[in-house]
Structures are given as C-alpha cells and as structure tokens.
Amino acid sequence: MDISLRKGYLSKEKCDLLVVNAFEESGVGGATESVDLALDGKLVKFWKEDAFKGKQGSTNLLRVGSGIPAKRVVVVGLGKKEDFNLEVVRQAAATSLKVAKSLEAKHVVSVMHGVGNGGLSARDVARVMVEGVRLADYTFAKYKKDKTVSPKLFEIVTKNGRHVRNGEKGLDEGEAEAAGVVFARDLVNTPGMDLHPETLVEAARKVAKGKGSIRVRVYDREKLEKMGAGCLLGVAKGSVHEPKMVHMVYTPKVKTKKKVCLVGKAVTFDSGGLSLKPSQYMETMKCDMAGSAAVLGVFAAIDQMAPKVEVHGIFGAAENMPSGEAIRPGDVLTAMNKMTIEVLNTDAEGRLTLADTLTYATKQKPDAIIDLATLTGACVVALGEEITALMSNNSELSQKILASAEEAGEKMWEMPLEKNYKKLIKSEIADIKNTGSRWGGAITAGLFLQNFVNDIPWVHLDIAGPAFAERVVDPYTGKGGTGHGVRTLLHYLRSF
Ligand code: BES
Ligand code: MN
Ligand code: ZN
C-alpha cells in the first residue's frame, strides 16, 4: 500500500472510497462540507436519518450515484471538538483503513483530518495519519493461508498547497515510526520455537545491514563467561539455545557528546524455569522479548529518523527453560558487577538477565539509560493491560519520557522506587534476592534493577501489560504484539 499526500479537491476525486469526517454535535465543516455541497446536501441528510451522530470511532457509509466521482463515501466521527487531538486523528485514519479493507477498496482518498477547523499542524496530522493507517493495516500472516488485502493507494488530499508542503516531513516521520513498530510486532508475534537468542542477533544484523550509521557487536557464551555475566548465563542454563548479548551503536552524522543506552529484556520464551508457570500463564510468554523488540524497532527506524544523539541498543538474550541443568530455587548467581543474587524463584528471570545487561550499559558511560521489560505480572495487576509503569532515579529524565509518551500516544504512569521496600529484597545468604513479598511486585523488581545502574539517570519501563494485547486495544492496535515503546523512544530521541 502506497500512502501519499497531494493537493486536490475531495469533491472531484475519482476513487473507490472517499473518507471525510464530522465532529459530534457541530457536524461537518471544511473539506467535508464541500463534498456535501456537491452531493446536494445528501451526506448530512442521510446520516440525520441514520443513528450516526459523529461520535468518536463511529462511521457512516454511503453509496454515491452521482454528484461526485467517488464510488462511496465514509464519514468518520471525530467526537466532541473539545476532546479533539492527534490521537483522535490517528484512530480516525485507522478506522477509515478498516472500512476500506472491509470493502476491498483499491484506491482510497482521505481528507486531512483536523488541519482546517481542528487547528492541528499539517506535519503532525500527516505523521499520525500514516501511523494510524499503517498500523491498522498490520497483520501477522506468516503462518496463515488466508491473507487480507490492503488498498493499493491511500491518498491524503488537501486543497491547501501549504499543508502539502508542511505535511511531507510528517509523512516520512510517520512511515519511519510505523516501520519500527511493525518490525517489533513481527518479532513479538513469532513463536518461541522460531525465535531464539540467535534469531534476535540476526534481527540486529538485518537492521544494521547497508547502514553505515549502525554497528553491531555480539557476545557469545564464551565471551559472556569472561565478562562475568553470571546472571544471564544462569538464566540460559536450562535451555539448549545459547545466550547472546547484543550491542548496537547508532552514530549520528552530526557531532554530538550526548549518549543514550536503550536496554531491552530479551527472554525469547519464559516457561518460568524450574519454578514452572501454570500452562495458562505460559500461553503468551513468547512475548517476553518485547523489550528487545522495541529496541530493535527503534533501530529499524533510526537511520531514516537521524536523531542528533549517539544511541546504544543493548539486550541480553536467553530462553528460560526447566531441565536437569537449569538453575534451582536457592542457587546463588554472581552478576557482572560482582553482586551476588539468591535466586528464590527462577520465574523472576527478567531482572537477572537485566542485571548483567544494565551493568554492561553503565560501562558505556551514557548520559541516560532507558530499559523496557515485560518484567512483572504485578505491574499488570496495578495498572491494567494498557498502561506501562515508569520508574526512575531521575525526575528530569522521567518527565522527558512521560512527555514523549504523551506525544507518541502511548500510555505510561509513574510508580515510586520506594526506598523502604529495599528490605524486601535483602537475602539471608547473598547480597540480594530475586523476589520480594506478595505486594508491590513491580516496585521491588524496579528496586532490584536499580542496583545495576549506579547513579546514571535511568528510566525503567515495565511494559508487561501493553507489550502484548490479549484483546483489541484501539483501531490500530489489534491482538498480539503491539510494538509498544517504539514510538515513545523515537519521540524522545527526536528531542535531542
Ligand atoms: N515475564 C514475566 C512477567 C509477565 C507477566 C510478563 C505477564 C507479561 C505478562 C516475568 O518473568 C515473571 O514471570 N515475573 C514473575 C515474578 C515473580 C516470580 C516474582 C511474576 O510477575 O509473576
Ligand atoms: Mn518469568
Ligand atoms: Zn519473564
């Protein structure tokens, strides 16, 4: 599917589906009004007879006989004017794509939602429309016989030449962001039998291929032993697949002193290990590498986006399996920073792999570390399936990430790294243990990680809820891997 932006008049466009919009109560305006005029007011008249009221997410589809060259018109509701924002546009574009697909429309022409009377900038609108359309179009069809058909051409049309010029940049930004999200979704959706640490290494190489700006370094078991990565190695012990540590570096063309590390949890399948999960809880555990998928998604888009900051993408990949060689509850592991950890539950493996990965990240002496991890079920209990928990040792950095999430349309909420809870991860026989009490599990996991970042400004994102959708979230986020985190990180990097 080609998505483009050009000058034109909606009432004169020949296409299979014409997309226009309406606000709740205030009705049509701008470009949609011109289409209504060309249709002798039929557009408004017909929906007044229907139940359509312009509510956000609702649609009204009309077959057109004469008046305009388009075969069909769909009116997408934008909701109340006072609630209107870029997220509404993203969802409106996504909804229109869904309608186009259900009609098997080949050529779609859409109004540029909200640039005229909605008061949004052409660049932002172009960006979020591309995101909405691309992400709504996404399916994971690798293992399916029946594939869905997408339109050949989705054109955003405006009569204002200035909006076309300003929108071009947004179009590219949207394409880059969507490509990054799609790359992450594909990885998360791939079953554990087809995705191993080695597969994530290949993904990193694929992302870097042909791009002079990205280098990849890989550490195998032998090197990890020399580096003292006892925790990552410990988690991998039960699996026949060897662990890998991957380090990608993006160097911008412009000179910069700023350096950021993006760290992702990369457990390619989490069975729980000897502390085996109940089978129902295991069903979605191919998603346990979603943190690393988000980092890889960022790197898939980074060259095109060209942020003015040096970016390191780091993940320690392993599979968590039970076997005669697996680590046992009660075992003690030594991390790369020499701390000892009593493993009381082998299912709290994410924090173990991250202990070594974060230690490695601090050695790069970055200005900031941001980690993404499907870390705790407790986080999903606290915030539900659609909100990421943010924890941080630095309020300036956490405010920046929260602002980036807001811009990107991803939901995040801060939780405290409560010092008083540190007692919950004290061990009788080692420096710390890998489980807390029954309560506050997302926070004790965050406090555990804090031991491995020294005093470098750091944000921890527990994405256990939003990384994998067990039900449809919105018109552009269906079931399965969501690529959550990619857009927030790209917005953050763009702010340099
Ligand atoms: N990967 C899981 C966390 C998870 C749960 C991710 C649900 C996505 C959805 C993690 O490794 C885990 O098993 N955590 C345990 C920790 C506990 C044993 C301290 C948990 O949350 O139950
Ligand atoms: Mn686990
Ligand atoms: Zn896990």
Are 24 and 129 in the same domain? yes
Sheet architecture: strand order including 331-334: 331-334, 340-343, 432-433
| Residue 166 falls inside a structural domain | no
**What DSSP assignment string belongs to 195-237?**
--HHHHHHHHHHHHTT-TTEEEEEE-HHHHHHHT-HHHHHHHT
Confidence of residue 427 (pLDDT cuts 50, 70, 90): very high
Are 332 and 254 in the same domain? yes
Instruction: Report which ligand 1 atom has the smallest distance to the Cα of 444.
Output: 19
Distance (Å, rounded) from C-alpha 203 to C-alpha 201?
A: 5
Burial class (CB in 10 A: 0-12, 13-18, 19+), 199: middle
Catalytic residue (choose from 351, 400, 433, 487): 351
Averaged pLDDT for residues 228-247: 98
Which ligand places an atom closest to the C-alpha of 462?
Answer: 1
Q: Is the pLDDT of residue 404 over 90?
A: yes
Which residue CA neighbors atom 9 of ligand 1 most closely? Answer: 464
Are 354 and 247 in the same domain? yes
pLDDT for 26 equals: 75
Distance of CA 348 from the midpoint of ligand 3 (Å): 7
Task: Please list all protein residues whose beta carbon sits less than 5 angstroms from ligand 2, which is an ion.
Answer: 270, 347, 349
Longest dimension (CA), the chain: 82
pLDDT for 211 equals: 97
Averaged pLDDT for residues 195-214: 98
Tokens of 44: 């408004």
Are 285 and 189 in the same domain? yes
pLDDT for 180 equals: 98
Confidence of residue 121 (pLDDT cuts 50, 70, 90): very high
Distance (Å, rounded) from C-alpha 385 to C-alpha 475?
A: 16
Q: Coil, helix or strand for 260?
A: strand
| Residue 165 falls inside a structural domain | no
Catalytic residue (choose from 42, 81, 277, 494): 277
CATH number at residue 250: 3.40.630.10
Distance of CA 347 from the midpoint of ligand 3 (Å): 7
Please give the single-letter amino acid code of residue 194: D
Query: Model pTM?
Result: 0.97
Distance of CA 412 from the midpoint of ligand 3 (Å): 20
pLDDT (tens digit, 9 = 90+) per residue, 19-57? 999 999 877 888 899 999 999 998 888 888 888 889 999
pLDDT for 367 equals: 98
Which residue CA neighbors atom 3 of ligand 1 most closely? Answer: 376
Q: Which of 276, 327, 375 to mutate to test the pocket of ligand 1 (most atoms within 8 A of CB)?
A: 375
Q: Which of 53 and 241 is assigned the larger pLDDT?
A: 241
| Residue 170 falls inside a structural domain | no
| Residue 175 falls inside a structural domain | no
pLDDT (tens digit, 9 = 90+) per residue, 348-368? 999 999 999 999 999 999 999
Distance of CA 348 from the midpoint of ligand 1 (Å): 6
Distance of CA 347 from the midpoint of ligand 1 (Å): 7
pLDDT for 153 equals: 98
Averaged pLDDT for residues 6-10: 97
Q: Is the pLDDT of residue 269 over 80?
A: yes
Distance of CA 347 from the midpoint of ligand 2 (Å): 4
Are 153 and 272 in the same domain? no
Are 82 and 210 in the same domain? no
pLDDT for 197 equals: 99
Q: Is the pLDDT of residue 182 over 80?
A: yes
Instruction: Report which ligand 1 atom has the smallest distance to the Cα of 375.
Output: 3
Domain that holds residue 126: 2-159
Tally of structural domains, the chain: 2
pLDDT (tens digit, 9 = 90+) per residue, 443-478? 999 999 999 999 999 999 999 999 999 999 999 999
| Residue 419 falls inside a structural domain | yes
Known active-site residue 277: yes
Provide the mean pLDDT of the chain.
97
Confidence of residue 157 (pLDDT cuts 50, 70, 90): very high
Confidence of residue 17 (pLDDT cuts 50, 70, 90): very high
pLDDT for 166 equals: 97
Angle 161-189/290-305 helices, nearest 10 degrees?
150
pLDDT for 286 equals: 98
pLDDT (tens digit, 9 = 90+) per residue, 52-72? 889 999 999 999 888 999 999
Instruction: Report which ligand 1 atom has the smallest distance to the Cα of 445.
Output: 19
Are 325 and 368 in the same domain? yes
Q: Which of 116 and 294 is assigned the larger pLDDT?
A: 294
Distance of CA 75 from the midpoint of ligand 3 (Å): 44
Among residues 469, 459, 384, the alpha carbon closest in space to that of 181 is found at: 469
CATH number at residue 6: 3.40.220.10
Q: Which of 376, 379, 437 to mutate to test the pocket of ligand 1 (most atoms within 8 A of CB)?
A: 376
Instruction: Report which ligand 1 atom has the smallest distance to the Cα of 376.
Output: 21
- What are the C-alpha distances in Å from 290 to residues 266, 354, 468? 7, 13, 8
- What are the C-alpha distances in Å from 293 to residues 259, 263, 266, 300, 421? 21, 10, 8, 10, 31
Task: Please list all protein residues whose beta carbon sits less than 5 angstroms from ligand 3, which is an ion.
Answer: 267, 270, 288, 350
Distance of CA 328 from the midpoint of ligand 1 (Å): 17
pLDDT for 42 equals: 87
- End-of-domain residue from the set 111, 128, 159: 159
The DSSP secondary-structure symbol of 67 reads S
| Residue 164 falls inside a structural domain | no
Which ligand places an atom closest to the C-alpha of 318?
Answer: 3
- End-of-domain residue from the set 159, 193, 226: 159
Are 146 and 184 in the same domain? no
pLDDT for 334 equals: 98
Are 67 and 119 in the same domain? yes
Are 203 and 338 in the same domain? yes
| Residue 20 falls inside a structural domain | yes
| Residue 262 falls inside a structural domain | yes
Query: Which helix (DSSP H) or strand (DSSP E) does residue 442 occupy?
Result: helix 441-450
In percent, the amount of the chain with pLDDT more than 70 equals 100
Which ligand places an atom closest to the C-alpha of 281?
Answer: 1
Distance (Å, rounded) from C-alpha 141 to C-alpha 483?
A: 16
Averaged pLDDT for residues 177-196: 98
- Min mean pLDDT across 79-83, 234-238, 446-450 is at 79-83
pLDDT for 46 equals: 80
Show the ligand 1 pocket: residues with CB < 6 angstroms. 270, 288, 345, 347-350, 374-378, 380, 435, 441, 464
pLDDT for 47 equals: 80
Instruction: Report which ligand 1 atom has the smallest distance to the Cα of 435.
Output: 19
Q: Which of 347, 353, 380, 424 to mutate to test the pocket of ligand 1 (most atoms within 8 A of CB)?
A: 347
Are 104 and 243 in the same domain? no
Known active-site residue 42: no
Instruction: Report which ligand 1 atom has the smallest distance to the Cα of 275.
Output: 18
Are 143 and 259 in the same domain? no
- End-of-domain residue from the set 159, 194, 210: 159
Confidence of residue 126 (pLDDT cuts 50, 70, 90): very high
